[in-house]
Copies of this chain bind each other. A is one copy, B any other.
Amino acid sequence: MDPSDAAHPGPGRAVWTLAPRLLLLPLLPVLLGRGLRLGAAASSSGAAAEDSSAMEELATEKEAEESHRQDSVSLLTFILLLTLTILTIWLFKHRRVRFLHETGLAMIYGLIVGVILRYGTPATSGHDKSLSCTQEDRAFSTLLVNVSGKFFEYTLKGEISPGKINNVEQNDMLRKVTFDPEVFFNILLPPIIFHAGYSLKKRHFFRNLGSILAYAFFGTAVSCFIIGNLMYGVVKLMKIVGQLSDKFYYTDCLFFGAIISATDPVTVLAIFNELHADVDLYALLFGESVLNDAVAIVLSSSIVAYQPAGLNTHAFDAAAFFKSVGIFLGIFSGSFTMGAVTGVVTALVTKFTKLHCFPLLETALFFLMSWSTFLLAEACGFTGVVAVLFCGITQAHYTYNNLSVESRSRSKQLFEVLHFLAENFIFSYMGLALFTFQKHVFSPIFIIGAFVAIFLGRAAHIYPLSFFLNLGRRHKIGWNFQHMMMFSGLRGAMAFALAIRDTTSYARQMMFTTTLLIVFFTVWVIGGGTTPMLSWLNIRVGVEELSEEDQNEHRWQYFRVGVDPDQDPPPNNDSFQVLQGDGLDSAGGSRTKQESAWIFRLWYGFDHNYLKPILTHSGPPLSTTLPAWCGLLARCLTSPQVYDNQEPLREDDSDFILTEGDLTVTYGDSTVTANGSSSSYTASTSLEGGRRTKNSSEEVFERDLGMGDHKVSSRGTPLVFPLQENA
């Protein structure tokens, strides 16, 4: 692609290099299977083919089988890595080691295996073959190749840089463990992102919605442009020093700014969870990092789409710029709509069918609908990953309430496992990639520049924005919070996936290498420094109670780590909960909806009065909120449960969550009537069901707040806000 690349045969000369090994390490057995089965097919039909090519066929078959085995072995390597990681995580959790998170661990194991593969395995060169041939002037996605009268079909895998042709083959094992980058984007990221959306602590998220949106949109854009411009300076410097051996444009710098602006503070959040740090800070960080990913993806696509017309391809072009902005808005809103629409459709289907009698069917439907969001968005030209995020949020907000108790835990556990596996896989792959990836471009100046740039970019992202936000916030974001947010700018899976997606050009390879090092540094150093930082910044953390119910406590903690699950805390931790308050949350009662932004209040009213009643079994009956002339429609859409359970409207985005005891007494009866079918499945489920299946079952979803809430909630006073006035 780059004309300046060496060893580049002229366009007139045609070279067909036949590489007998698959470059791609297939993630899934289907890909694995192909090689072998092809061999098997050849063998089985070999009985019918009595020509002289039988020996050749056998050779091809053997080779395919060999390749299939190697694929299996390399996938096994990854599984072994993950197994090792899991066992070590267990050991760490068991011994309460907290300075290294599981993702950091996965990277270390990946590094070790990478070193072994790189230096421990013989550099066997594949049997390269090249053949000359007349050629067309463009590439097609499928080739049909006639070889001795047999037709073989080839699919396009990708373009490779001409300079690399001779060393791609250098080590089979290294090539085997190198994945198709699209695996990350299309298989591993969606479950991670969906889980993030699905497990968002809605209550705190919505309370800080304005700030989170500001950080995610303005902050990321600011960070992207500042990093991009700083890096352009660094690149200019490199050109002067003579360290730059190929082209590196301004758009490349901006692209780097976009991919590196995707923060992923998984390590920090895990520690926050474990130490029960401030819930608002948690919500700000988590919400920002989740939305931030979506913004970064769309931003990077928009920058790629910035192609000024005419020959002057790298100067500023207003038309192209506005087109890029339009693309950004279009893709973002389109993906958002796709996600929200699928979520709403799922909510309607689960509401108006009695599917909750069959949790298996329900879970399957839930999974399929969530997956279809991805496909729908991709089919329409939007970004599947972004759509999946908003689908997750919608599903958690509406569909979750309609699911049966069993499906709730099923769907959460399913995505939790997928998320866990995908995340650890990505991080162990990162460790591996440092040594096995064959196109690294290490440039010390660029790397140092990048570290400085992300520091400055993060600072320019957090401090000014926090200042402006504090002007509008009643509950200010304190300096210690700002410093902590500044500190928590880790880079992780998303930055890596965006960087590895395209490593064809020199600039992209340099970016990839730099991103990898930034991820390593931030995960290990910042991740390890979170606990000291928290205490240094005087951020409220829960008192760690090392009771004699060691494992029990321990186990519960695990549930709160990283994945932000919606589990109830074990009842014997109630005393522990009460110990936590340190004065800040005693005044928590005043931090209510009133201090949220007007846009949130508007949304909240609309959601509570119209969307919730339409999409779920909770909320006020539509007949009371809709105008009188919509009476028939209102009656159709409102589920009968709502009339049965017309309790005083509770503010489920407030701090006041009823305790379990209260709910059982107050709403226990109507519950069993409404959902009796699902709640008496087994004795244990029925107990759980009876306790959980309240008419407005959202509280359960949101009960794993911080401990402060539990303290407040133990007062058990349902506070009713004058909602109708706001709407």
State the copy count for this chain.
2
CB closest chain-B residue, reference A89: B361
Cross-chain contact B249 with A48 (CB below 8 angstroms) = yes
The segment out of A127-135, A198-206, A485-493, A517-525 that lies at the interface is A127-135
Enumerate chain B residues within 8 angstroms of A304, measured Cβ to Cβ: 40, 43-44
Q: A64 contacts B571, CB within 8 Å? A: no
Contact A371 B79 (CB under 8 A): yes
A43 to B89, CA, bound (A): 42
**Residue pair B143, A187 in contact (C-beta under 8 Å):** no
Would A90 and B687 count as touching, CB distance under 8 A?
Answer: no
Chain A residues numbered 121-158 whose CB sits less than 8 Å from any CB in chain B:
129-158
Closest to A130 in B: B144
Q: Is A420 an interface residue (CB 8 A)?
A: yes
Residue A707 at the B interface, CB < 8 A?
A: no
List chain B residues, Cβ under 8 A from A139.
Answer: 60, 145, 147, 150, 152
In the complex, whether A180 has a CB less than 8 A from a CB of chain B is: yes
A680 contacts chain B at the CB level, 8 A cutoff: yes
Question: Which interface residue of A30, A361, A369 has the most chain B CB atoms within 10 A?
Answer: A30
- A604 to B683 alpha-carbon distance, docked (Å): 32
Which residue among A90, A143, A367 has the maximum number of chain B CB atoms within 10 Å of its CB?
A143
Per-position binary interface string of chain A over residues 30-73, scored 1 when its CB falls under 8 Å from any chain B CB and 0 otherwise: 10111111101111111111110100110110011101110011
Contacts of A67 in B (CB 8 A): 141
Tell me if A567 counts as interface (CB < 8 A to partner B). Answer: yes
Q: How many residues of A contact B (CB 8 A)?
A: 188
**In the complex, what residue of chain B is closest to A504 when comparing beta carbons?**
B45
CB of A82 within 8 Å of the partner chain: yes
- The answer to whether A30 and B180 touch across the interface, beta carbons within 8 angstroms, is yes
Contact A135 B149 (CB under 8 A): no
The proximity string for A residues 555-586 relative to B, scoring 1 for CB distances below 8 Å and 0 otherwise, is 11011000100011111100000000000000
A30 interface neighbour in B80, B187, B368, Cβ under 8 Å: B187
| With A19-B140, A374-B29, A568-B682 as contacts: A149 and B9 at CB distance below 8 Å | yes
Q: A132-B134, A141-B21, A152-B139 are in contact. Are A83 and B365 (CB under 8 A)?
A: yes
Q: Does A678 contact B (CB under 8 A)?
A: yes
Taken residue by residue from 154 to 172, chain A's Cβ proximity to chain B (1 for < 8 Å, 0 otherwise) reads as: 1111111110010000000
- Residue of A23, A79, A364 with most chain B CB atoms under a 10 A cut-off: A364
Q: A665-706 CB contact bits vs B (8 Å, 1 = yes)?
A: 000000000001110111111111001000000000000000
Contact B417 A367 (CB under 8 A): yes
In the bound complex, CA of A353 to CA of B43 (Å) = 46
Chain A residues numbered 531-575 whose CB sits less than 8 Å from any CB in chain B: 549-552, 554-556, 558-559, 563, 567-572
A434 CB-CB contact with B under 8 Å: no
Q: Chain B residues near A410: list those with CB within 8 A.
A: 413, 417
Q: Are A555 and B158 in contact (CB under 8 A)?
A: no
Residues on B with C-beta less than 8 A from A187 are 28-30
Contact between A18 and B507 (Cβ–Cβ < 8 Å)?
A: no
Residue contact A680 to B158, C-beta cutoff 8 Å: no
> What would 17 more interface pairs be, CB under 8 Å, given A23-B142, A47-B313, A47-B314?
A3-B149, A14-B146, A15-B146, A18-B142, A33-B378, A89-B361, A90-B358, A143-B145, A144-B165, A152-B157, A154-B155, A360-B559, A363-B413, A552-B677, A556-B681, A567-B682, A684-B685
> Does any Cβ of B come within 8 Å of A24's Cβ?
yes
